[in-house]
């Protein structure tokens, strides 16, 4: 299908199903039940899950294939966001031009940063990209305040020019739309005690993510992808065979920067606001975590990792003491207090702690990330079959 | 955002069937005044969203804000001793929730980042069905969340935000600020500074290099220059700076005899400590004692800077040592519950929650437009700052501002500031179109839906 092997097609179809059915998958618990706290099927989080999925897919093209660890990818996300919001302020609230310009601007900026940073490799490359990202952050936060809004960031205002849009009706605020379809438009389906939200913005972002995912499969399987892998496994050898690796790595860097810009543009399209913190180094670190947690160099890993981290950030951080009290209310007083005392440090503001512990566990026990976890479970079920069929158990050669 | 729906939870509770097509109920089927806006509470509870920094540089303030919110909810639901509800000039609140609905709340972590704050606020609106969002400890976050609430049709009651922009160029019809602002700090401080340090001083500003720093510097500069001071130089310092020695050394060479530190939080603690360690305050310049001024004080900052704050002037929104009935009642019930006095952040958040609840009671509806109407030009008293006006033109509260000084002999770790003067409200009032606040557009209230 679409020039993919059977295995890749299956993977693509799985991703398509997951994203299309996300409103159902993420809302497994009925409203009003104690577990409803863990429902993630509301528009904002679903949008974030796919957008950061795109960001991580792009990062994985650079890190997973070439092994260059960029520690400044959030800068491209931020630059894309600023470009998109200016497009919305000046031109039109339609998200299409905003998203296109965010990709273009992020691409140009990553060309500049990549051209300089790729002169070095390894830790020096990481530090250079980190320096660029922090520089962009500081510029946006203070020096460039007239362009970036500084600390308060940028939002569309009622009196922005928006030369392509007609005048707003009185009392209306500018809203991001896709040829008239507002991003916030939701359609809610009620089945018994469950409510499933289908949000226009989410599906637009989801379609973009599926396209981005498809493109990344094609890159992974192309000769270009093979060259990038060659750079990762032994760059010296590539050089000795007379190949110049730099154009390849630079291309990967720019593609990956454009993915980040795309994610930035989509973030603005879904939630029309940009702040400089989007470029802070912790944001760059987050995408590294996402990729490693999910499985660097695998196709679907970064998407899973992004989903995992965003879920933790948005769901676990919102559990507070009174929610815990509700959960454990059925227990005797002493035990209830004891359980609350034990669980409390890991929820609410302690979500970083929970995430850190899970990250450590994954890195120690599943070095290949969540994807490796999935593979191990898969193997567990597969292994049984041959042992049932083959009596001697020696049908597979030892590797 | 146009959530063309009632709350998700509320819908279930009332068992309203939205039809297989999932369409909204036609307007004529709804109880008038209780629907037609985002997240209209339909059950016997109402959900408020408390969005405060629980991690990051302002986590201490966020924790104190959350304490105040919990206390406010307790009082609204009729628990505790009622706190300021007894001293509040409006008697609409009965202690039976809001409009008879029990108050419930959800919390979120803003991380003092506008992105995270908006994500958390959106989840409160979309997932938990919050009808009002409040909190925050930075102007960037306040402006970002305020814009979100305007778009979603939710009321935003700002927490601690001091930048002029929140009710200036970024003001929004659905957003309200009780806290004071940079301009008020400048206007309140200037006369006290003139009285204590004279009118022919030369000032040197160190300003945190971001939005709040700029508006504060501008406000203090224009008020002090108006009474005769001269501004020798104004230097911007990076927000992440922790060692200010290199910025302080040139101050002495500049011929200035007053140093104004437009810093907040950890920045202020570090810059003030550096300045005092450099011995600036023991110097004589132009035959005058060298002085330091900190426009925005908070108890938590004073605690961080320790003995260095002694005798240094600044302004604050509220202080627990105030002796009016409202403040005493609040300090009493906060102290009983938590064992220490509340900070100014806790005070403003507590008051904002009561003001919102009271406005809903008086309006008889949770509809944001009705609430806006009830709050605009609302005059009240008994909330700790004397007679206060919620001005309709920019949704800023106008009340007395406190000028404080670091105490020479603190009695306890909370007793660090003493009130020098309560600047009357007339002195800090400005026109809505004052140049420091220009460029904004309040717009009209948005009920969502």
| pLDDT at res. B30 | 34
Query: A250-290: per-residue pLDDT in tens?
Result: 999 999 999 999 999 999 999 999 988 899 999 999 999 99
Q: Which residue has the higher pLDDT, B179 or A391?
A: B179
Q: Are residues B386 and B241 in the same domain?
A: no
Task: Confirm whether B369 is domain-assigned.
Answer: yes
Q: Are residues B221 and B370 in the same domain?
A: no
Residue B245 has pLDDT above 50, yes or no: yes
Q: Which residue, B146, B138, B125, is CA-closest to B8?
A: B125
| pLDDT at res. B13 | 45
Q: Which residue has the higher pLDDT, A289 or B33?
A: A289
179-238 in chain A: CB under 8 A from chain B: 182-190, 193, 195, 197
Q: Are residues B248 and B389 in the same domain?
A: no
CA distances from A368 to A56, A228, A291, A334, B71 (A): 16, 19, 10, 42, 48
Contacts of B209 (CB under 8 A, 6+ apart): A141, A142, A143, B236, B237, B238, B239
Q: Which residue has the higher pLDDT, B371 or B304?
A: B371
Q: Is B296 helix (H, G, I), strand (E, B) or coil?
A: strand
Task: Confirm whether A31 is domain-assigned.
Answer: yes
Q: Are residues B14 and B144 in the same domain?
A: yes
* Boundary residue ending a domain (A266, A301, A336): A301
Task: Confirm whether B152 is domain-assigned.
Answer: yes
Q: Which residue, A32, A268, A19, is CA-closest to B118?
A: A268
Task: Confirm whether A310 is domain-assigned.
Answer: no
* Boundary residue ending a domain (A274, A301, A328): A301
Q: Which residue, A310, A288, A274, A306, is CA-closest to A137?
A: A274
Give me the phi and psi of B23, to 5 degrees please: -80, 160
DSSP state of B31: P
Q: Are residues B66 and B142 in the same domain?
A: yes
- Sign for the CA dihedral angle at B335, B339, B343, B349 comes to negative
Query: B420-442: per-residue pLDDT in tens?
Result: 999 999 999 999 989 999 888 88
pLDDT band for A384, please (50, 70, 90 cuts): low
Q: Is A154 helix (H, G, I), strand (E, B) or coil?
A: strand
Q: Are residues B145 and B267 in the same domain?
A: no
* Mean pLDDT, residues B370-391 taken together: 94
Q: Are residues A234 and A334 in the same domain?
A: no
User: Rounded distance, CA B134 to CA B120, Å?
Assistant: 12
**Strand order, beta sheet including B388-390:** B378-380, B388-390, B397-398
pLDDT band for A178, please (50, 70, 90 cuts): very high
User: Rounded distance, CA A133 to CA B356, Å?
Assistant: 41
Task: Name the residue range of residue A15's domain.
Answer: 6-301
Are B231 and B260 a contacting pair, CB within 8 Å?
no
Q: Which residue, A92, A98, A149, A167, is CA-closest to B439?
A: A149
Tokens linked to B121: 């606020």
| pLDDT at res. B21 | 34
| Alpha helices in B153-244, H assignment, sequence order | 182-197, 211-226
User: Rounded distance, CA A111 to CA A69, Å?
Assistant: 16
Q: Are residues B163 and B238 in the same domain?
A: no
Task: Confirm whether B39 is domain-assigned.
Answer: yes
Are B419 and B327 a contacting pair, CB within 8 Å?
no
- Of B56-65, B325-334, B405-414, give the range with the top mean pLDDT: B325-334
DSSP state of B322: -
Q: Are residues A283 and A165 in the same domain?
A: yes
| pLDDT at res. A383 | 66
Backbone Cα Rg of chain A: 23
Task: Confirm whether B93 is domain-assigned.
Answer: yes
Inter-chain residue contact A141 with B210, CB threshold 8 Å: yes
Task: Confirm whether B141 is domain-assigned.
Answer: yes
Q: Is B42 helix (H, G, I), strand (E, B) or coil?
A: coil
Q: Are residues A62 and A114 in the same domain?
A: yes
How many C-beta atoms lie closer than 10 Å to residue A138's C-beta?
A: 18
Task: Confirm whether A311 is domain-assigned.
Answer: no
Q: What is the CATH number of the domain that holds B193?
A: 3.40.50.2300
| Alpha helices in chain A, H assignment, sequence order | 6-20, 22-25, 43-66, 74-90, 95-117, 122-138, 145-148, 200-221, 223-233, 235-240, 246-270, 281-294, 301-315, 321-327, 333-343, 351-365, 369-389
pLDDT band for B28, please (50, 70, 90 cuts): very low
* Mean pLDDT, residues B50-78 taken together: 91
Please give, rounded to a whole number of angstroms, the shortest distance from the CA of B292 to a CA of chain A: 25
Task: Confirm whether B436 is domain-assigned.
Answer: no
- Characterize the bridge pairing of strands B378-380 and B388-390: antiparallel
Contacts of A371 (CB under 8 A, 6+ apart): A294, A295, A298, A300, A301, A304
Q: Are residues B304 and B331 in the same domain?
A: no
* Mean pLDDT, residues A353-369 taken together: 91
Of chain A, the percentage scoring pLDDT greater than 70 comes to: 95
Residue B312 has pLDDT above 50, yes or no: yes
108-147 in chain A: CB under 8 A from chain B: 138, 141-143, 145
| pLDDT at res. B265 | 83
Least confident of A276-280, A389-393, B335-339, B445-449: A389-393
Task: Name the residue range of residue B211's domain.
Answer: 183-316+416-426
Are B145 and B132 a contacting pair, CB within 8 Å?
no
ipTM score assigned to the predicted complex = 0.86
CA distances from B111 to A12, A75, A220, B55 (A): 36, 19, 37, 5
| pLDDT at res. A394 | 41
Q: Are residues B214 and B299 in the same domain?
A: yes
| pLDDT at res. A316 | 86
Give me the phi and psi of B256, to 5 degrees please: -75, 150
| pLDDT at res. A263 | 97
A-B interface: how many C-beta pairs under 8 angstroms?
Answer: 155
Query: A41-92: per-residue pLDDT in tens?
Result: 899 999 999 999 999 999 999 999 999 999 999 999 999 999 999 999 999 9
Of chain B, the percentage scoring pLDDT greater than 70 comes to: 92
pLDDT band for A399, please (50, 70, 90 cuts): very low
pTM above threshold 0.80: yes
* Boundary residue ending a domain (A270, A301, A332): A301
The answer to whether residue A155 neighbours chain B at the CB level (below 8 Å) is yes
Are B442 and A172 a contacting pair, CB within 8 Å?
no
Are B440 and B166 a contacting pair, CB within 8 Å?
no
Q: Which residue, B178, B123, B114, B124, is CA-closest to B146?
A: B114
Inter-chain residue contact A158 with B443, CB threshold 8 Å: yes
Nearest neighbour of A175 by CB, restricted to B106, B116, B151: B151
Query: B88-138: per-residue pLDDT in tens?
Result: 999 999 999 999 999 999 999 888 888 889 999 999 999 999 999 999 888
331-370 in chain A: CB under 8 A from chain B: 348-349, 351-352
Query: A220-239: per-residue pLDDT in tens?
Result: 999 999 999 999 999 999 99
Backbone Cα Rg of chain B: 22
Q: What is the CATH number of the domain that holds A109?
A: 1.10.3470
Are A236 and A122 a contacting pair, CB within 8 Å?
no
When divided into structural domains, chain B yields a total of 2
Residue B12 has pLDDT above 80, yes or no: no
Inter-chain residue contact A159 with B214, CB threshold 8 Å: no
Q: Are residues B190 and B172 in the same domain?
A: no
Residue B183 has pLDDT above 50, yes or no: yes
| pLDDT at res. B73 | 96
CA distances from B28 to A323, B19, B367 (A): 36, 16, 16
Inter-chain residue contact B170 with A193, CB threshold 8 Å: no
User: Rounded distance, CA A65 to CA A301, Å?
Assistant: 13
| pLDDT at res. B27 | 34
Please give, rounded to a whole number of angstroms, the shortest distance from the CA of A42 to a CA of chain B: 6
């Amino acid at each position: 299908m679409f020039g993919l092997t059977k295995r890749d097609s299956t993977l693509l179809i799985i991703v398509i199903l997951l994203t299309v059915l996300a409103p159902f998958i993420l809302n497994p618990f009925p409203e009003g039940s104690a577990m409803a706290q863990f429902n993630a099927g509301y528009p904002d989080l679903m949008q974030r899950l796919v957008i950061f999925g795109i960001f991580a897919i792009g990062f994985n093209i650079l890190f997973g294939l070439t092994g260059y660890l960029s520690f400044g990818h959030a800068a491209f996300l931020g630059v894309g966001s600023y470009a998109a919001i200016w497009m919305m302020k000046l031109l039109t609230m339609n998200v299409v031009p905003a998203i296109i310009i965010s990709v273009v601007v992020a691409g140009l900026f990553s060309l500049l940063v990549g051209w300089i940073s790729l002169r070095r490799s390894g830790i020096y490359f990481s530090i250079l990209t980190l320096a660029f990202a922090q520089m962009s952050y500081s510029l946006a936060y203070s020096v460039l305040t007239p362009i970036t809004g500084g600390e308060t960031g940028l939002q569309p205002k009622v009196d922005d020019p928006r030369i392509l849009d007609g005048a707003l009706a009185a009392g209306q605020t500018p809203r991001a739309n896709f040829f008239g379809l507002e991003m916030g438009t939701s359609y809610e389906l009620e089945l018994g005690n469950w409510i499933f939200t289908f949000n226009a913005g989410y599906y637009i972002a989801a379609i973009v993510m599926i396209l981005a995912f498809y493109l990344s499969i094609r890159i992974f399987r192309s000769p270009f992808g093979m060259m990038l892998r060659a750079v990762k496994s032994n760059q010296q050898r590539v050089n000795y065979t007379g190949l110049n690796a730099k154009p390849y790595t630079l291309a990967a860097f720019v593609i990956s920067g454009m993915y980040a810009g795309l994610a930035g543009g989509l973030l603005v399209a879904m939630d029309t606001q940009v702040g400089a913190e989007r470029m802070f180094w912790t944001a760059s670190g987050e995408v590294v975590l996402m990729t490693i947690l999910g499985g660097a160099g695998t196709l679907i890993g970064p998407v899973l990792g992004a989903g995992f981290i965003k879920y933790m950030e948005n769901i676990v951080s919102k559990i507070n003491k009174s929610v815990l009290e509700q959960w454990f209310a059925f227990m005797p007083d002493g035990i209830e207090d004891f359980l609350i005392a034990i669980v409390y440090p890991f929820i609410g503001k302690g979500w970083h702690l929970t995430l850190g512990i899970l990250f450590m566990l994954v890195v120690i026990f599943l070095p290949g990330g969540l994807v490796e976890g999935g593979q191990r479970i898969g193997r567990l079920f597969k292994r049984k079959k041959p042992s049932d069929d083959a009596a001697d158990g020696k049908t597979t050669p030892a590797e | 955002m146009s959530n063309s729906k009632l709350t998700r939870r509320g819908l279930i509770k009332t068992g309203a069937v939205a039809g297989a097509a999932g369409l909204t109920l036609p307007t004529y089927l709804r109880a008038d005044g209780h629907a037609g806006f985002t997240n209209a509470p339909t059950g016997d509870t109402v959900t408020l969203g408390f969005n405060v920094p629980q991690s990051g540089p302002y986590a201490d303030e966020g924790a104190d804000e959350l304490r105040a919110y919990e206390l406010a909810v307790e009082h609204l639901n009729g628990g505790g001793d009622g706190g300021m509800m007894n001293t509040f000039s409006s008697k609409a609140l009965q202690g039976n929730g809001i409009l008879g609905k029990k108050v419930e709340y959800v919390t979120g972590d803003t991380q003092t980042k506008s992105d995270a704050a908006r994500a958390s606020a959106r989840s409160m609106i979309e997932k938990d069905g919050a009808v009002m969002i409040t909190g925050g400890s930075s102007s960037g976050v306040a402006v970002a969340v305020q814009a979100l609430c305007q778009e979603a049709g939710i009321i935003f009651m700002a927490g601690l935000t001091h930048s002029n922009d929140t009710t200036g160029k970024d003001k929004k019809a659905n957003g309200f600020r009780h806290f004071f602002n940079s301009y008020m700090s400048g206007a309140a401080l200037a006369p006290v500074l003139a009285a204590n340090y004279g009118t022919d001083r030369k000032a040197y500003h160190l300003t945190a290099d971001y939005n709040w720093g700029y508006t504060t510097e501008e406000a203090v500069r224009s008020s002090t220059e108006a009474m005769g001071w001269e501004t020798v130089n104004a230097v911007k310092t990076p927000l992440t700076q922790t060692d200010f020695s290199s910025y302080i050394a040139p101050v002495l060479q500049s011929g200035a005899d007053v140093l104004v530190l437009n810093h907040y939080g950890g920045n202020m603690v570090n810059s003030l400590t550096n300045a005092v360690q450099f011995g600036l305050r023991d110097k004589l310049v132009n035959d005058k004692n060298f002085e330091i001024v900190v426009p925005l004080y908070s108890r938590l900052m004073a605690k961080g800077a320790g003995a260095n704050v002694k005798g240094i002037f600044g302004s604050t929104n509220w202080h627990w040592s105030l002796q009016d009935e409202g403040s005493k009642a609040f300090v009493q019930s906060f102290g009983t519950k938590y064992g220490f006095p509340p900070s100014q952040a806790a005070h403003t958040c507590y008051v904002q929650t009561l003001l919102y609840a009271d406005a809903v009671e008086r309006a008889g509806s949770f509809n944001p437009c009705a609430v806006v109407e009830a709050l605009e030009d609302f005059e009240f008293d008994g909330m700790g700052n004397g007679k206060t006006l919620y001005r309709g033109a920019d949704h800023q509260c106008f009340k007395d501002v406190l000028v404080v000084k670091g105490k020479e002999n603190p009695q306890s770790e909370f007793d660090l500031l003493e009130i020098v003067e309560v600047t009357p409200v007339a002195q800090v009032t400005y026109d809505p179109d004052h140049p420091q606040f220009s460029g904004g557009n309040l717009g009209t209230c948005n009920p969502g839906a």
